Structure 1
Amino acid sequence: MIDGIRLTKAPIRWGMVGGGRGSQIGYVHRSAAMRDGYFDLKAGAFDLDPDRGRAFGADLGLDPDRCYPDYRAMFAAESARPDGIRCVTVATPNNTHYPITRAALLADLHVICEKPLTFTTAEALDLQAIASERGLVVGVTYGYSGHQMIEEAARLVANGTLGDIRIVTLQFAHGFHSAAVEGDNPAARWRVDPAFAGPSYVLGDLATHPLYIAQVICPDLRIKRLLCTRQSFVASRAPLEDNATVLMEYHGGAVGTLWTSAVNAGSMHGQKVRVTGSRGSVEWWDEHPNQLRLEIQGEPARVLDRGMAYLHPQSLTDDRIGAGHPEGLFEAWANLHSRFALAIEAHEEGDPSRVAHLRYPGIEAGVEGVRWVEHCVRSADAGGVWVDYG
């Protein structure tokens, strides 16, 4: 159980690019990173408007001299300081992730980046090569994977409770963009503009979350081929999709489906992950993240609750409060940030093997998410055909 004791030697001096005033995701990043004292916010390039960014940083309590007009100025100035930042979070629109992350890595900074990591697999692999060469950590914020019951589902698969895995059913389908809300909502507008969002909307923005969770729960499954169809039900969003369906075949014979949508009218969030084996199934729903539904053939269905002694010990590691008290998104993100910090310290001390057992969405997860979206787009744009995953 987490009790506030930091497991690293000292807080990591940390900066942000983006995430300024009015940014919901910026607040989530700051709350998660500083929740357990693993990160100490020292600098930022929070806004395209330098004055507005400086004012926001000052409101956060930062030294105004360390609130920079852009990321290039921040990386240069902080690199020259003996107390400069060691890690930076990239919380900006998709089209900027690659150049900012690349510049940060070349400045010998660890990076925590919003997804998608890049627009193309080639770009993602470039970042992976730089990070590997320089011994740097890149974390990707698949934040929902920090919920404790994801770990329990993974343990049930690993210990054979479900039998041989046959079917993976994934969904992230909300209804908040069932109309053209982007006309009055700048935060939604860039997500449906290919210049900023890249080659997809809901495939990259939503679907990669349950995709990564499924990879955590079933790490041995490897996609063999997939077929994708995508639609723009709000016509002005074309060529980007606001609804898509993906069929997947895995090596070994298992199959998967994924439905992702921003036009699932009436749905609050609609992210669900169900894994079905030859003996039973588990299902996790992010609107009830403290529970995991376990169904064994021939037995009554049961609901497993976070924090209970009947769970696997590893599933209890990230609990912050006793069973019955709800934990949510901020706790899940904080769990991941604590792991990012442990990984950063181990890499800086030249001993990455020390955290080889640590599960967190790193550069490999970022590369895989980009590669999956590329294959989905290629399949859909060819008329919904099967494509080898390769």
Structure 2
Amino acid sequence: MITSSPLRNGTIPWAMVGGGQGSQIGYIHRSAALRDGNFQLVAGAFDIDAERGRTFGQSLGLQAERCYDNYQALFNAESQRADGIRAVSIATPNGTHFAICKAAIEAGIHVVCEKPLCFTTAEAEELLALSKQHQRVVGVTYGYAGHQLIEQAREMIARGDLGDIRIVQMQFAHGFHNEAVELANPATRWRVDPKFAGPSYVLGDVGTHPLYLSEVMLPELKIQRLMCSRQSFVKSRAPLEDNAFTIMEYEGGAIGYVWSCAVNAGSMHGQKIRVIGSKASLEWWDERPNQMSYEIQGQPLQVLERGMGYLHPAALHDDRIGGGHPEGLFEAWSNLYYRFALAMEATDAGDATALAMLRYPDIHAGIEGVRWVENCVRSADAGATWVDYV
């Protein structure tokens, strides 16, 4: 169980770029990072409007001189301070991620970044090379990957409880953008503008989330080829899609399916993953995160509950409040930030053994998300044809 044990080398001084006043995701980052006391927010460049960002930072208790006009000033000044930041979280529009990540790594700062890391695999590979050169951690916030039942599913699949894996069915299909809400909502507007969002909307914004869950549960599955069809049901969003279907063939014969959607009218969140084997199936839904369905052919449905002693030790390690109490998004995000902190500490200490024992959505996960979106867009734009996964 996670009990907020302090890091061996003390709290990590931490900053944010973006995530300012009115940012829901900024609040989630801060809540998760600060929960266990492993990070201390000491600086930030919170807003494209420098004065508004400075006011917001001071409302969080930061010193005025450590509320910076932009990320360049933040990294330059903090890298020269004896008590400067060691890590930064990036919660800005997609089109800025690559430049900010690159600048942070080059300044010797660990990074936690919203997805996507960037727009192209070439840019992602450049960030990987820089992270290795400067020995910096890059984490990606696939938030629900920190939920303990994802660990339970991974262990059950690995020990063969499901048999041979045949089908992986994934979706993230909500309904909150079933109309052109971006006309009145600036927080949504940039997500459907290629200049800021990149080559896709829902493929990168929601589809990569269940895709990463599948990578955690099924690390041996490798995509061989895929076919993607995407649509802009709200026509003003074209060429970006608000709905997409992706079929994948894996090496070894299994198949996968991802439904990425923002126009599933009536759906609250709709992120689910179902793994079907030759003997049994598992299903997890983030709106009911404390239960996972386990269905063995010919037997009654079983519901596995979070926090119970019959779960695998790897799942119980991520437990925070014991069985029976509900956990969800904030606990999952806090677990990720806990792992990010341990990875940063191990990296700074040169402890390769400790680092190798940690699993978290790292830069390789970020690269794979970018690669998947690129291949989906390539397939869709070629008329929903099969393309080799490159």
Aligned partner of residue 272 in structure 1, secondary structure: strand
Q: CA deviation at 1:4?
A: 2.3
2:263 paired with 1:259: no
Q: CA deviation at 1:357?
A: 2.1
Contact 1:140 1:366 in 2 (8 A): yes
2:180 paired with 1:172: no
Number of the residue aligned with 1:230: 230
Q: CA deviation at 1:328?
A: 1.2
Q: CA deviation at 1:2?
A: 1.6
The CA RMSD over aligned residues, in Å, is 0.7
Question: In structure 2, what is the Cα distance between the partners aligned to 1:73 and 1:88?
Answer: 13
Contact 2:7 2:345 in 1 (8 A): no
Aligned partner of residue 28 in structure 1, secondary structure: helix
Post-superposition Cα deviations, 1:143-169, rounded to whole Å, max 9, x if no partner, equal 010111000000110010000111000
Number of the residue aligned with 1:187: 187
* One-letter code aligned to 2:70: D
Question: In structure 1, what is the Cα distance between the partners aligned to 2:8 and 2:359?
Answer: 17
Instruction: Structure 2: give runs of 5+ residues left out of the alignment.
Output: none
Post-superposition Cα deviations, 1:266-322, rounded to whole Å, max 9, x if no partner, equal 000000000001100000000001111000111111100001011111110011112
Question: In structure 1, what is the Cα distance between the partners aligned to 2:18 and 2:94?
Answer: 12
Number of the residue aligned with 2:217: 217
Aligned partner of residue 228 in structure 1, secondary structure: strand
2:74 paired with 1:51: no
Q: CA deviation at 1:354?
A: 1.3
Q: How does 1:27-38 map to 2 (within 5 A)?
A: 27-38=27-38
Q: TM-score, normalised by structure 1?
A: 0.99
Question: In structure 2, what is the Cα distance between the partners aligned to 1:79 and 1:359?
Answer: 28
Question: In structure 1, what is the Cα distance between the partners aligned to 2:260 and 2:243?
Answer: 6
Post-superposition Cα deviations, 1:189-208, rounded to whole Å, max 9, x if no partner, equal 00000000000000000000
Q: CA deviation at 1:380?
A: 0.1
Number of the residue aligned with 1:93: 93
Aligned partner of residue 89 in structure 1, secondary structure: strand
Question: In structure 2, what is the Cα distance between the partners aligned to 1:215 and 1:227?
Answer: 19
Number of the residue aligned with 2:309: 309
Number of the residue aligned with 1:107: 107
Post-superposition Cα deviations, 1:111-155, rounded to whole Å, max 9, x if no partner, equal 000000000000000000000111110000000101110000001
Number of the residue aligned with 2:374: 374
Aligned partner of residue 361 in structure 1, secondary structure: coil
* One-letter code aligned to 1:229: S
2:119 paired with 1:119: yes
Question: In structure 1, what is the Cα distance between the partners aligned to 2:352 and 2:89?
Answer: 21
Aligned partner of residue 320 in structure 2, secondary structure: coil
* One-letter code aligned to 1:147: H
* One-letter code aligned to 2:365: A
Contact 2:153 2:282 in 1 (8 A): yes
Aligned partner of residue 292 in structure 1, secondary structure: strand
Number of the residue aligned with 2:240: 240
Question: In structure 1, what is the Cα distance between the partners aligned to 2:206 and 2:364?
Answer: 18
Q: How does 1:1-390 map to 2 (within 5 A)?
A: 1-390=1-390
Aligned partner of residue 112 in structure 2, secondary structure: strand
Question: In structure 2, what is the Cα distance between the partners aligned to 1:95 and 1:5?
Answer: 36
Aligned partner of residue 84 in structure 1, secondary structure: coil
Contact 1:271 1:286 in 2 (8 A): yes
Post-superposition Cα deviations, 1:69-127, rounded to whole Å, max 9, x if no partner, equal 00000101001100000011110000000000000001010100000000000000000
Question: In structure 1, what is the Cα distance between the partners aligned to 2:322 and 2:80?
Answer: 45
Instruction: Structure 1: give runs of 5+ residues left out of the alignment.
Output: none
Question: In structure 1, what is the Cα distance between the partners aligned to 2:35 and 2:13?
Answer: 14
Q: TM-score, normalised by structure 2?
A: 0.99
* One-letter code aligned to 2:303: V
Task: State the aligned residue count.
Answer: 390
Q: CA deviation at 1:177?
A: 0.3
Identical counterparts, % of pairs? 66
Q: CA deviation at 1:6?
A: 2.0
Question: In structure 2, what is the Cα distance between the partners aligned to 1:87 and 1:24?
Answer: 21
* One-letter code aligned to 1:388: D
* One-letter code aligned to 1:49: D
Q: CA deviation at 1:355?
A: 2.3
Aligned partner of residue 9 in structure 1, secondary structure: coil
Contact 2:110 2:344 in 1 (8 A): yes
* One-letter code aligned to 1:83: D
Question: In structure 2, what is the Cα distance between the partners aligned to 1:158 and 1:362?
Answer: 21
Q: CA deviation at 1:10?
A: 0.7
Q: CA deviation at 1:353?
A: 2.6
Q: CA deviation at 1:358?
A: 1.3
Question: In structure 2, what is the Cα distance between the partners aligned to 1:357 and 1:200?
Answer: 34
Contact 1:17 1:71 in 2 (8 A): yes
Contact 2:170 2:274 in 1 (8 A): yes
Contact 2:232 2:239 in 1 (8 A): yes
Q: CA deviation at 1:326?
A: 0.2
Question: In structure 2, what is the Cα distance between the partners aligned to 1:131 and 1:84?
Answer: 19
